[in-house]
Amino acid sequence: MIRFTVKRLVSGVILLVAVSVGTFFLAHLAIGDPTAGLLGSAATPAQQAALAAKIGTDRPLLVQFWDWASHAAVGDFGTSWRNFQPVGAQIALKLPVTLSVVTAATLLSAVFGALFGVAAGLRPGSILDKVVKAASVILFALPGFWVSLVLVIWFAVDLKWFPAVGYVQPALSVEGWLRSITLPAIALSLGAIVMIAEQLRNAIISANSQDYVRTLRSRGLSQPRVVVHLVRNAAPAALTVLALMFVGLLGGAIVVEQIFSLPGIGALTSGSSQNGDIPILLGITVVTVIFVVIVNFLLDVVLGWINPKARVQ
């Protein structure tokens, strides 16, 4: 287990370094001179030069990278080029909002994806199975912003069940917090639900035709116990998809947070991209990769518990 953990940690560090280096240079290449975006088109060359000296972009790019990387290695992501506030503090302020929505969307995806996937897999060719397959095609193809707008119109504007925009801190009102993240979580989770359901359905249909399942039934095991064995056999594929979808949900939060006016990482990313605030973008990238590494590590641990052969591999 120690060797397994060390191997995953080393691969995670390599991924973190590679993504950080790539993001740093690509961001500078794409944005170019950030002072124009930070000061606006009315800024004079003297003002741009003064800001460049203040934020350090007048130095060679390799020197800038070394300065950023040496501080980021100890958890200091620098200060924002726009408001000169610590990057870490701004991310820490926005991160709970995004994690609330993404975690809720992940739970919805896991629960409903498992329910629909198991039900469709146990009855291939049934009406439910056909509905799941049709929904997989339709919902996966629908743009996230369109789904979000439809949810707002139906459940916020027409029915008035949920607020259309805004976020309520859980410390102020748990009920208000739940209501404020419900529609964004549903908008994020719909595509993930059908993906997990389709994956689990296919895995259960494949496992249901195996000899060991017929043996279990011939020994008199009840249908619920047989289903438990089927789900355990199909779980690795579904969990892998769920982990991948979690990472995808972090990216999808950018669009959803804009539509629902949520003050999360997605909104911070969008604003920083428009303003050329590279330190914020780099800090968000590092934090996102850390979450990816943690999720992948937990996935490997769970898969190793379900199937011990996975630990050996």
pLDDT score for 312: 46
pLDDT score for 309: 54
Distance CA 154, CA 160 (A): 8
| Residue 275 forms part of a structural domain | no
Q: Is the pTM of this model over 0.85?
A: no
CATH number for the domain harbouring residue 252: 1.10.3720.10
pLDDT score for 306: 66
pLDDT, tens digit, 9 for 90 and up, residues 67-122: 999 999 888 998 998 888 999 999 999 999 999 999 999 899 889 988 888 888 88
| Residue 1 forms part of a structural domain | no
pLDDT score for 86: 93
| Residue 184 forms part of a structural domain | yes
| Residue 10 forms part of a structural domain | no
User: With 60 as the cut, is the pLDDT of residue 310 above it?
Assistant: no
Kindly write down the DSSP assignment for every residue of 234-280, as one continuous string.
HHHHHHHHHHHHHHHHHHHHHHHHHHTT--SHHHHHHHHHHHT-HHH
Residue with tokens 């438990």: 228
Distance CA 234, CA 64 (A): 48
> What are φ and ψ of residue 79, in 5° steps?
-120, 155
Of 209 and 269, the structure prediction assigns the larger pLDDT to: 269
pLDDT score for 40: 74
| Residue 285 forms part of a structural domain | no
Give, to the nearest 10 degrees, the angle between helix 278-306 and helix 87-122: 40
| Residue 100 forms part of a structural domain | yes
Domain assignment of residue 114, given as a range: 94-264
pLDDT score for 311: 52
| Residue 306 forms part of a structural domain | no
Residue with tokens 């208000």: 176
| Residue 111 forms part of a structural domain | yes
pLDDT, tens digit, 9 for 90 and up, residues 190-230: 888 888 888 888 888 887 777 777 777 777 777 777 777 77
pLDDT score for 91: 93
CA-to-CA separations, 191 to 6, 25, 107, 300, in angstroms, rounded: 34, 33, 13, 24
Query: What percent of the chain is predicted at pLDDT more than 70?
Result: 97
Q: How many CB atoms lie within 10 A of CB 52?
A: 16
**Count of structural domains within the chain:** 1
pLDDT, tens digit, 9 for 90 and up, residues 39-63: 777 778 888 888 888 888 888 899 9
Query: Taking the alpha carbons of 197, 198, 200, 206 in that order, is the dihedral positive or negative?
Result: positive
Residue with tokens 């989770």: 189
Residue with tokens 């997605």: 266
pLDDT, tens digit, 9 for 90 and up, residues 7-40: 878 888 888 889 889 989 998 888 777 887 777 7
